Chain A
Amino acid sequence: MSDKALVGFFLTPTMILLLAIAIFPLIWSLYLSFTKYSVIQDVNGPTWIGLNNYGRLLDDTDVWLRFTTTARFVVPSVLIELLLGFGLAMLLNRKFAGRGFIMTMMLIPMMLSPLVVALFWGYMFRPDAGLLNAWTRDLLGFPSILWLTNLDTAMWALVLVDVWQWTPFIMLIALAGLSAVPQYLYEAAEVDRASAWFKFQRITLPLVTPLLLIAILFRTMDAYRMFDQAYALTGGGPGHKTEVLSIYLYQMAFRDFNTGKGSALGYIMLIVIIALANLLIKVLNGLKAEKA
């Protein structure tokens, strides 16, 4: 077989699958986003209405509120995970017996099914018999907290579950960065009698930042599309307090069957995340250029 035939033979199945099941749906939903269409009502198929869906969505204060809600989930989650994960990586960045085992144990949460994890946290959040209230109310004497149905705590409950599951991710990446910092830099600083803070600020941080940014990029994109946890724990409630974009879109498309409008919202989400990812990548490349 010639090399050319071989390349074709190797690449074709992958390309066909990606085109059929990843790209074609995307193009179809772009078309649907310009139409008025409801899967259950419009038997005659979609009607072309141009940019109407987009116009209506961008005029709708609800949509902007959902963006704010999403940010209120993404920003605290990623920030806390970053601080905790980086801190933990610092603590783990030394030799001790059982280090590999402890690390692997701590990495388990991020491999588990987000839905099953969320469902079990739901048990711990239970106001009557849940563990968290057993601690905050019965041990510490706070009043009963309805973690998932209280307007103030529902979002924080989701953040807590996310922090539990994804801090290990940041920890893992930060640790890779830390263990790559050459030891001689610290030794040189030692000779100069540099303070611990100086070493952290001038040696550790600049060398780890590029990897941390990769971690932030991954986490931000993941948190932005978080669905399972909110679906399982709060369903977007109480009120619309935890109705992040993906929940809002899901309900628009599969509860209200606004298929066309839902597709348009999907595209708006897509454009926003691409812009955000590009911004982060630019910062990342800027840092790399600075270092070089």
Chain B
Amino acid sequence: MATTQTGGTKTKTSTETLLENKRETLPPPQPITRTGPRTNPLQGFGRILSWLGLGVAFLFFMFPLYWMLVTSVKPRAETTLLPPRYLPGVDFEPTGDNYVAVFTKSSELGTITSSPGTQATELSAFPEHLLNSVIIAGLATLLAVVLGTLAAYAFSRFKIKGESDLLFFILSTRMLPPVVVLIPIFLMFTKPFSFLAPWATSMGAGGFKDFIENVSQFSLRENYVGITLLYTTFGLPFVVWMMKGFFDEIPKEYEEAAMIDGYSRLQAIWKFVLPEAMPAMLATAVFVLITAWNEFVFVQLLNPTKASTVPPFLYGIIGYGQIEWGRMAATSVVFLLPVVLFTFLVRNHLLRGVTFGAVRR
């Protein structure tokens, strides 16, 4: 068993040979944008028409994003001006004020709850919400990817009783409309351990009683714990399905060869399977992160004031009174920019990601 390892550090183990062979024989996965045969190129009039169609479509999908960027550098008076000014630097003088304001001071306009005067000196609540978004989405992603990958590995490598049923059960938890579970989640998160309260009152005084009483009063609302666990649960089915697909593509022989070389299964997973699966895990993580980042209904309902994220914050500043559109656009840009960057990072996995791994290739 251990002979290959003790025989000198330069000796290649069978696993390493296998890894190298695989890298040589299999071409690296091609991005979907480059593969596949093409239909015959169009000629003449049809060709012009097809370029025109593509151009119009491109404009249609890009324009709102461009408009958001333009609006975010407009002075306040410009944002509600008609006819609209399209070109910063030509039509109007662009300003970075909105971006500064987003991070520093609170709205200068009044809302229903506070008068304009007091607002001007207050600090913006945006950085706090942004930080919450990062913490909650980040933690949930980490948890979901780690736990989901473990489960996916088990599904991919071992015979599990009722495996397809279990997998379908996991998938089905993601098919339900979120509003359907909104009610029970809301009730459950309010005081999940309140059933312990009568038990605590029946007990004699003491440290343990206080502990139980505290637990029975514990709420999963208005803090990081509940919403993070919720997003983790939302992400899990996705991670399990995606990662199972990826693990199925990594030959079983990897670990088997490593185990023949004397590694335990856990070591083999750590040393040989995980590095192979890492790109897939990162891509999967990006999708979980984006989903948690974008979520609105649950966080709005469960954490209206504390540990709230950016979408409810944005909804809140739109909801009342006059709206500073430039500032709102700047906030949106700051919030959406990471997603755009991540989209470019995972562009080769998009197809698989958005279809739950149902469509590969």
Contacts and interface: CB of A to CB of B under 8 A. Distances in A.
B67 A131 contact: yes
B147 A14 contact: yes
Given A102-B58, A115-B296, A214-B355, A121 B64 contact: yes
Interface string B23-63: 00000000111111111110000000010011001101110
B354 to A, nearest CB: 6
A113 B311 CA distance: 8
B359 A214 contact: yes
B265 A227 contact: no
B348 to A, nearest CB: 9
A13 to B, nearest CB: 5
Interface in A173-199: 173, 175-176, 178-183, 186, 190
A115 B314 contact: yes
Contact of A3 (B158, B301, B329): B158
Interface in B173-225: 173, 175-188
B277 interface: no
B336 interface: yes
Given A17-B229, A121-B64, A26 B359 contact: no
A218 interface: yes
Q: How large is the interface on B (under 10, 10 to 19, 20 to 34, 35 or more residues)?
A: 35 or more
A39 B65 contact: no
B297 interface: yes
A18 B57 CA distance: 41
Contacts of B236: 14, 17-18
Interface in A217-272: 218, 221, 224-225, 227-228, 231-232, 246, 249-250, 253-254, 259, 262-263, 266-267, 269-270
A48 interface: no
A32 B40 CA distance: 59
Contact of A173 (B160, B233, B343, B355): B355
B347 interface: yes
A113 B84 contact: no
Interface in B315-355: 315, 318, 325, 328-329, 332, 335-336, 339-340, 342-344, 347, 350-351, 354-355
Interface in B270-317: 290, 293-294, 296-297, 301, 310-311, 314-315
B2 interface: no
A10 B244 CA distance: 13
A131 B74 CA distance: 15
Interface of B is mostly: helix
Contact of B182 (A10, A164, A186, A253): A253
A105 B58 contact: yes
Given A131-B67, A183-B38, A270-B177, A262 B183 contact: yes
Given A18-B233, A108-B65, A172-B350, A93 B38 contact: yes
Contact of A91 (B53, B154, B290): B53
Contacts of A87: 53
Interface in A75-95: 84, 87-88, 90-95
B359 A211 contact: yes
B340 A99 contact: no
A90 B352 CA distance: 20
A228 B296 contact: yes
Given A22-B181, A269-B180, A120 B38 contact: no
B173 A22 contact: yes
Nearest to A222: B177
A159 to B, nearest CB: 14
B150 A29 contact: no
Output the residue of B54, B229, B237, B240 with the most chain A CB within 10 A: B54
Contact of A21 (B38, B82, B185): B185
A57 interface: no
Contacts of B62: 105-106
Contact of B344 (A104, A169, A178, A254): A104
Given A88-B57, A128-B80, A10 B150 contact: yes
B154 A119 contact: no
A224 B355 CA distance: 17
B266 A1 contact: yes
Contacts of A128: 80, 82
Nearest to B287: A111
Contacts of A22: 173, 181, 233
A1 B269 CA distance: 13
B101 interface: no
Nearest to B344: A104
Contacts of A277: 175
A275 interface: no
B183 to A, nearest CB: 5
Interface in A117-133: 117, 119-124, 126, 128-129, 131
A70 B84 CA distance: 34
A152 interface: no
A119 B354 contact: no
Given A119-B332, A123-B328, A108 B173 contact: no
A124 B67 contact: yes
19 contacts: A7-B154, A11-B150, A14-B150, A14-B151, A17-B236, A26-B180, A92-B54, A94-B39, A100-B31, A108-B65, A115-B314, A116-B294, A116-B335, A117-B64, A120-B328, A176-B32, A180-B36, A227-B297, A266-B179
Interface of A: 1, 3, 6-7, 9-11, 13-15, 17-18, 21-26, 28-29, 32, 39, 84, 87-88, 90-95, 99-100, 102-117, 119-124, 126, 128-129, 131, 134, 138, 164, 167-169, 172-173, 175-176, 178-183, 186, 190, 204, 211, 214, 218, 221, 224-225, 227-228, 231-232, 246, 249-250, 253-254, 259, 262-263, 266-267, 269-270, 273-274, 277
Given A111-B290, A225-B177, 5 more contacts: A7-B154, A100-B34, A120-B67, A129-B81, A186-B39
What 4 pairs across the A-B complex have the smallest Cβ distances?
A179-B36, A183-B37, A225-B177, A25-B184
